[in-house]
Structure 1
Amino acid sequence: MGILNLTPDSFSDGGKFNTEKAALLHAEKMLTEGAEIIDIGPQSTRPNAEFIDSNEEIRRLGKVISSLRKEFPEALISVDTFWSETVRFGYNEGMDIVNDISAGQFDKKLFETVSQTGLPYILMHVNPVYEEMHVKKKFGNIMVEINKFLLEKSQNLLEVGVKDIILDPGFGFGKTVDDQHKMIDETEYIGLGKFPVLIGISRKSFIYKPLGKSPLEISEETQKLHYKVLKQGAKILRVHDVKAAKETVNAFLKE
């Protein structure tokens, strides 16, 4: 899954791809490098990012989804949103997957809307309020807490008719460095094998800050962690650097 940020303020590539032409060129590059899913982000969710409503998300998305659908019909398109109106817009434009960082907690109509579209849904572990999503919580046992949350929410989704669920443990959202390394070490237990797992650690601070590096200087370290989670059954890697991740996936598949 290649990341396509349409935002002016994402932490490592804000403002680079927020025109339709730049977005399409970057999507083409990622697909050429081996991406199978293009994850379009109209809203930054980094710490202290600007909070925008669905109208602004839809404005930023513009014709990007439909243009991608037309230019690259083989690509799967996910949209990173927690707004039900954005999901409706994206569905009408031709998106394939809803990628929601909120687990349906920021818009109470979201689960029902996803069900109505019939689209697959990525369910992420996160704190329950937008303003606190990056506040580091003290967990007794991070894996127990994540599984309790994800399995309860997935049951809610199944009850409203969402059938295709992918789990994301939520790296970078309200967890300590130690907790996130435990999540890496115990990826095989996420969701207890009930659903496919997505891992999104690309350019995350729990990797680069302890090393005293920038988000753009940790490719080698990130690929080692990618390999580790693939060996434990992770099915999707959400990444900025598609070429390097694809090489890691290929190496894993050759084992």
Structure 2
Amino acid sequence: MQVPSLSDSSTLQRSNSINCNGRLVDLSVPKIMGILNLTPDSFSDGGKFNTEKGALEQTHKMLKEGAEIIDIGPQSTRPNAEFLTAEEEIRRLGNMIAFIKKEFPETLISLDTFYAETVKFGYNEGIDIINDISGGQYDEKMFDAAAETKLPYILMHVNPSYETMHDKIDFADITLSVNRYFSEKTAELLNKGVKDIILDPGFGFGKTVEDQMKMMDEVKYLGFGKFPLLIGISRKSFIYKPLGKSPLDINEETQKLHLKVLQQGAKILRVHDVAEAKKTVDLFKSGSV
């Protein structure tokens, strides 16, 4: 597989914008992606927002607090979560995407799924971004679905199967390994015609605490400086477990890490606590740190 040259500007996009259904979204100022779990079993907010009323209220709250993207997830990917088929995901989603789009038409909606069939359903309902934790590895048709819909695609680094996604891997060099993965996957996506790619290094998935802290220090080296970076560390165990705290009690530590990745060029923060992340983004934008 041919890996695009880092100096070849004809094959690699600039990291300043993405095209969402014909709408050019400027990423020169970092964006906040608010997490909307439609699941009964997510690790920190399962069952809270899986009704139309609950989802709408939470979406309104996150938008008011500063989110510009709402990431809808029909399936939990925490360790030992219930496994859903694409059909079950679609049934759980119901009319929720269209319902939220009708109420908040300017809001960008990303769909958190590793199924091509769910992506196609979401596309018809009005999603703007594909958020695939599997890097196309759990459904061989996913990259084709991304190419067919022409939606921006979030490519996450993860272990190669659903069963092993949380198995800790002994990486000789985590940053090198993640970049090698990104090189191979972005080449495949570009060859299929996917033009807008966002990279997610996969904090919380199959990596030791030490490797994840190393990645935090080396975010600036991830993604070749050509693709926008999304960082999702909200309520992740590599932060709270070493501190002996709960997922809901690490806001201060999380915001320090958010600031650290913003200073290294991260473009999107995927978060549960939008208001706190907005303070961090504003602090970063002020240039006072």
Instruction: Tell me the TM-score range normalised by the shorter chain.
Output: over 0.9
Q: Is 1:135 aligned to residue 167 of structure 2?
A: yes
Q: Is 1:98 aligned to residue 130 of structure 2?
A: yes
Residue in 2 that maps onto 1:207? 239
Cα distance between partner residues in 2 of 1:191 and 1:230: 14
The residue type equivalent to 2:225 in the other structure is: G
Cα distance between partner residues in 2 of 1:90 and 1:134: 26
Q: Is 1:221 aligned to residue 253 of structure 2?
A: yes
Cα distance between partner residues in 1 of 2:92 and 2:282: 34
The Cα of 1:73 is off from its aligned counterpart by 1.1
Higher relative contact order (CA 8 A, sep 6+): 2
Consecutive unaligned residues in structure 2, runs of 5 or more = 1-32
Q: Deviations for 1:6-33, whole angstroms, at most 9, x for unmatched residues?
A: 0010000001111111011101100000
Matched position secondary structure for 1:238: strand
The Cα of 1:151 is off from its aligned counterpart by 1.4
Cα distance between partner residues in 2 of 1:144 and 1:99: 23
Residue in 1 that maps onto 2:70? 38
* Correspondence for 1:108 among 132, 140, 158: 140
Q: Deviations for 1:49-68, whole angstroms, at most 9, x for unmatched residues?
A: 01100111111111111011
Cα distance between partner residues in 1 of 2:82 and 2:266: 31
The residue type equivalent to 1:39 in the other structure is: D
Cα distance between partner residues in 2 of 1:78 and 1:169: 17
Please report the RMSD computed on the Cα atoms of aligned residues, expressed in angstroms: 0.5
Paired residues for 1:234-245 under 5 Å = 234-245=266-277
Q: Is 1:29 aligned to residue 61 of structure 2?
A: yes
The Cα of 1:117 is off from its aligned counterpart by 0.4
Higher helix share: 1
Of 17-26 and 138-147, more deviation after overlay is shown by 17-26
The residue type equivalent to 2:39 in the other structure is: T
Cα distance between partner residues in 2 of 1:16 and 1:151: 38
TM-score normalised to structure 1 length: 0.99
Cα distance between partner residues in 2 of 1:73 and 1:184: 35
The residue type equivalent to 2:207 in the other structure is: K
Paired residues for 1:124-163 under 5 Å = 124-163=156-195
The Cα of 1:97 is off from its aligned counterpart by 0.2
Residue in 2 that maps onto 1:182? 214
Consecutive unaligned residues in structure 1, runs of 5 or more = none
Matched position secondary structure for 1:122: strand
The 4+ residue runs of structure 1 with deviation greater than 6 A are none
Matched position secondary structure for 1:139: coil
The residue type equivalent to 1:234 in the other structure is: A
